[in-house]
């Protein structure tokens, strides 16, 4: 039996490793178009902030390890250009241009996502940050060009993490986006806290600014906007990602929401011998019960793992994602799970939201800091739908209590009753998540 995996990152290598553990005799081939497999993409901004640590430190396991220790046929520099479900083959080429053909019994598409750069003249001058190779390039430019000014197009997770990393290197950062608001999915008050924090950290923000083109300027670029020109020793494009689903589409597989590859709870595509996992595939949202495309690392690892479990029998049905995410921007952490007010409205709920500000610890404790919580519930059913938090202390893990409640389809009233940990160095008597739920409960 031949198991072929297209893509050697989180989902692909999780699937290959677990398949090896489960099936010692399985013939496993992983085809990766780049040179790197199994690295911590999410750690790249932190590595960029640290000139003394090579980017290659983020490699979790090397290709050699997979090949020699796990007996996986891992072929890097192999780009797959077509899937032929009728012949159960994939075809493509090596970096040298030689054609390649691989036959499979079971196939996993784990092609991930690609950065979507705005379609502007000179967009090739924008450096994305998705693959390890992108990270190496950005680090090289910083080192060689003595970068003083960076311009980041976009203001999402990656943009904000890069903004902190570059500032730590003494680089002044300007962020630009055409939209009118920072993190528009967050309640305005919480987004404003983050915006104020960025400005305190000397970040220049240009919202509502349309970029016309990117021109060369010495070793750097000039970002030509409608109202100004921005000099950039380094120009980063962090304007979002899209699922890498072209191969699947051309093979006649069904695409779903956001053009991600549609999968069932067993990670099977519309072809029963072809699985998809990771950032190229969709997932069921545990709150709406509907497909969503939320490319995040935990899901990619979990889905890859589940593919191996389900290769020959349906044994690991994934329940879905709550969209739990956290990121750090300077001293603030920002976390979310479940639905925002507008997402809930669009999903057909009758949402009610409420914001509270509490303390992260008992007020006498050193380190006690404000924590801002927005919580969303459904007026009709009383169900808890989601939460968004920011603060400088005790944010990241607090969101998980709500995430678990969403998986359990808990009501706001039931969440209010949960017995959360209290000790003065760690929390007020009523954890901020409980205070948020109590106040939301009054509005429901």
Residues in the chain: 444
Residue 423, C-beta contacts closer than 8 angstroms, at least 6 positions apart: none
Does the protein bind a second copy through residue 403 (CB under 8 A)? Answer: yes
Binding letters toward a second copy, positions 227-256, x by CB under 8 A = ------------------------------
Q: Give me the phi and psi of 155, to 5 degrees please.
A: -140, 35
Does the protein bind a second copy through residue 400 (CB under 8 A)? Answer: yes
Short-list 119, 285, 296, 306, CA closest to 214:
119
Give residue 189's region: left, alpha or beta (phi > 0; psi -120 to 50).
alpha
Binding letters toward a second copy, positions 5-24, x by CB under 8 A = -----x--------------
- Least distance from a second copy to the Cβ atom of residue 214, Å: 29
Does the protein bind a second copy through residue 49 (CB under 8 A)? Answer: no
Pairing between β-strand 2-6 and β-strand 27-32 as defined by DSSP bridges: parallel
List 328's β-bridge partners, or say none.
Answer: 333
- Please identify, using beta-carbon distances, which residue of 144 and 442 lies nearer to a second copy: 442
- Please identify, using beta-carbon distances, which residue of 342 and 426 lies nearer to a second copy: 426
d(CA 317, CA 263): 11
Distances (CA, A) of 116 to 168, 259, 378: 26, 13, 34
- Please identify, using beta-carbon distances, which residue of 76 and 400 lies nearer to a second copy: 400
42 is a catalytic site residue: yes
d(CA 418, CA 227): 52
Does the protein bind a second copy through residue 369 (CB under 8 A)? Answer: no
Does the protein bind a second copy through residue 91 (CB under 8 A)? Answer: no
Does the protein bind a second copy through residue 407 (CB under 8 A)? Answer: yes
Token match 């699922």: residue?
Answer: 243
Judged by CB under 8 A, how many residues of this single chain contact a second copy? 64
Binding letters toward a second copy, positions 264-303, x by CB under 8 A = ----------------------x---------xxxx-xx-
- Least distance from a second copy to the Cβ atom of residue 50, Å: 9
Among 325, 344, 352, 387, binds a second copy (CB under 8 A): 325
- Please identify, using beta-carbon distances, which residue of 112 and 220 lies nearer to a second copy: 112
d(CA 217, CA 146): 14
Q: Could you give the strand order of the β-sheet that contains 149-153, starting from the edge strand earlier in sequence?
A: 204-206, 172-176, 149-153, 234-237
- Least distance from a second copy to the Cβ atom of residue 290, Å: 15
Q: Which stretch binds a second copy (CB under 8 A): 88-96, 229-237, 255-263, 412-420?
A: 412-420
Does the protein bind a second copy through residue 399 (CB under 8 A)? Answer: yes
Distances (CA, A) of 139 to 37, 58, 129, 269: 19, 14, 11, 38
Among 143, 380, 397, 443, binds a second copy (CB under 8 A): 397
Q: Give me the phi and psi of 114, to 5 degrees please.
A: -120, 145
- Please identify, using beta-carbon distances, which residue of 109 and 283 lies nearer to a second copy: 283
DSSP string, 3-50: EEEE--SHHHHHHHHHHHHH-TT-EEEEEESSS--SB-GGGHHHHHT-
- Please identify, using beta-carbon distances, which residue of 61 and 84 lies nearer to a second copy: 61
Pairing between β-strand 172-176 and β-strand 204-206 as defined by DSSP bridges: parallel
d(CA 230, CA 319): 46
Among 224, 326, 347, 356, binds a second copy (CB under 8 A): 326
Among 245, 324, 340, 390, binds a second copy (CB under 8 A): 324
- Least distance from a second copy to the Cβ atom of residue 348, Å: 21
Does the protein bind a second copy through residue 335 (CB under 8 A)? Answer: yes
Token match 């739990």: residue?
Answer: 324
d(CA 309, CA 18): 8
| Residues within the interface to a second copy (CB under 8 A) | 10, 40, 42-43, 46-47, 53, 57-58, 286, 296-299, 301-302, 318-328, 333, 335, 337, 362, 364-365, 394, 396-405, 407-408, 410, 414-415, 417-427, 429-431, 433
Residues annotated as part of the active site: 42
């Amino acid at each position: 039996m031949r198991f072929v995996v297209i893509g050697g990152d989180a989902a692909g290598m999780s699937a290959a490793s677990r398949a090896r553990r489960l099936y010692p005799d399985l013939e496993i081939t992983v085809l990766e178009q780049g040179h790197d497999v199994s690295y911590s993409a999410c750690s790249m901004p932190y590595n960029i902030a640290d000139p003394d640590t090579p980017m290659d430190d983020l490699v979790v396991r090397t290709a050699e390890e997979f090949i020699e220790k796990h007996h996986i046929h891992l072929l890097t520099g192999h780009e797959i250009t077509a899937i032929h479900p009728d012949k159960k083959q994939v075809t493509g080429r090596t970096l040298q241009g030689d054609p390649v053909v691989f036959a499979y019994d079971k196939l996993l598409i784990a092609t991930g996502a690609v950065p979507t750069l705005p379609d502007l003249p000179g967009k090739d001058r924008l450096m994305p940050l998705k693959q390890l190779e992108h990270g190496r390039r950005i680090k090289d430019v910083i080192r060689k060009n003595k970068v003083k000014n960076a311009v980041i197009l976009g203001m999402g997770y990656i943009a904000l993490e890069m903004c902190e990393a570059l500032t730590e290197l003494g680089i002044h950062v300007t962020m630009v986006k055409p939209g009118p608001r920072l993190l528009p999915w967050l309640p305005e008050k919480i987004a404003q806290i983050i915006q104020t924090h960025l400005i305190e950290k000397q970040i220049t923000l240009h919202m509502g600014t349309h970029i016309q083109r990117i021109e060369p300027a010495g070793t750097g670029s000039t970002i030509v906007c409608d109202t100004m020109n921005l000099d950039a020793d380094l120009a980063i494009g962090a304007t979002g990602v899209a699922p890498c689903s072209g191969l699947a589409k051309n093979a006649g597989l069904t695409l779903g929401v956001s053009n991600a590859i549609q999968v069932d709870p067993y990670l099977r595509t519309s072809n029963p011998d072809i699985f998809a996992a990771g950032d190229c595939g969709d997932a069921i949202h545990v709150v709406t019960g509907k497909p969503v495309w939320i490319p995040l690392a935990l899901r990619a690892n979990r889905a890859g793992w589940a593919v191996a479990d389900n290769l020959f029998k349906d044994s690991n049905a994934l329940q879905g994602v709550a969209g739990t995410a956290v990121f750090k921007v300077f001293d603030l952490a920002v976390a979310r799970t479940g639905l925002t007010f507008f997402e809930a409205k669009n999903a057909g709920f009758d949402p009610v939201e409420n914001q509270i500000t509490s303390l992260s610890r008992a007020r006498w404790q050193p380190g006690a800091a404000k924590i801002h919580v927005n919580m969303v519930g459904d007026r009709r059913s009383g169900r808890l739908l989601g939460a968004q938090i920011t603060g400088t202390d005790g944010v990241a893990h607090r969101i998980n209590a709500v995430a678990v409640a969403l998986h359990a389809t808990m009501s706001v009233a039931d969440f209010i009753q949960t017995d959360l940990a209290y000790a003065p160095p760690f929390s007020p008597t009523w954890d901020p998540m409980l205070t948020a739920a109590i106040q939301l409960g009054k509005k429901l």
